[in-house]
Amino acid sequence: MRRGVEDDRIFGIFLNKAYGFTLVRGKEIVSFSSIGGYGNSESKIGIYEVGTLLVVHTYKNRRPASYWELTKEGWQCLGNDIYTLGNLKKI
């Protein structure tokens, strides 16, 4: 980006220190993760653009996953296990 040019994009930082998360939709600017420990342990941090949808995993996927969407107002939890593979194509 050139100096003196305004940039009005909105970014969101997402951090999970338990079992990681996966990008479902949207744009990831950058992410970093560390995998290890019990089960599917993963610490992960990422920077995303508005409109991004993430699924947050649980220990060995024994509980329903939670879905988070980045809006202009910030991260919004959409609920747990609310999407099936067929529904993911619609969002």
Say whether pLDDT at 7 is over 90: no
Can you tell me the distance from the alpha carbon of 16 to that of 86, in angstroms, rounded to the nearest whole number? Answer: 26
**How many domains, in total, are found in the chain?**
1
Tell me whether residue 79 is in a domain.
Answer: yes
Query: What residue type is 67 in one-letter code?
Result: Y
Tell me whether residue 22 is in a domain.
Answer: yes
Tell me whether residue 5 is in a domain.
Answer: no
Tell me whether residue 6 is in a domain.
Answer: no
Tell me whether residue 4 is in a domain.
Answer: no
Tell me whether residue 55 is in a domain.
Answer: yes
pLDDT at 4: 74
Can you tell me the distance from the alpha carbon of 28 to that of 18, in angstroms, rounded to the nearest whole number? Answer: 20
Structure tokens at 64: 């329903």
Say whether pLDDT at 86 is over 80: no
Q: Please report the DSSP string for 18-37 in residue order.
A: SB-EEEEES-EEEEEEEE-S
**Which residue, chain included where needed, has tokens 């296990």?**
81
Domain span at 62: 11-88
pLDDT at 5: 81
pLDDT digits (tens, 9 = 90+) for 13-41: 999 988 889 999 999 999 999 988 777 78
pLDDT digits (tens, 9 = 90+) for 37-77: 777 788 999 999 999 999 999 888 788 889 999 999 999 99
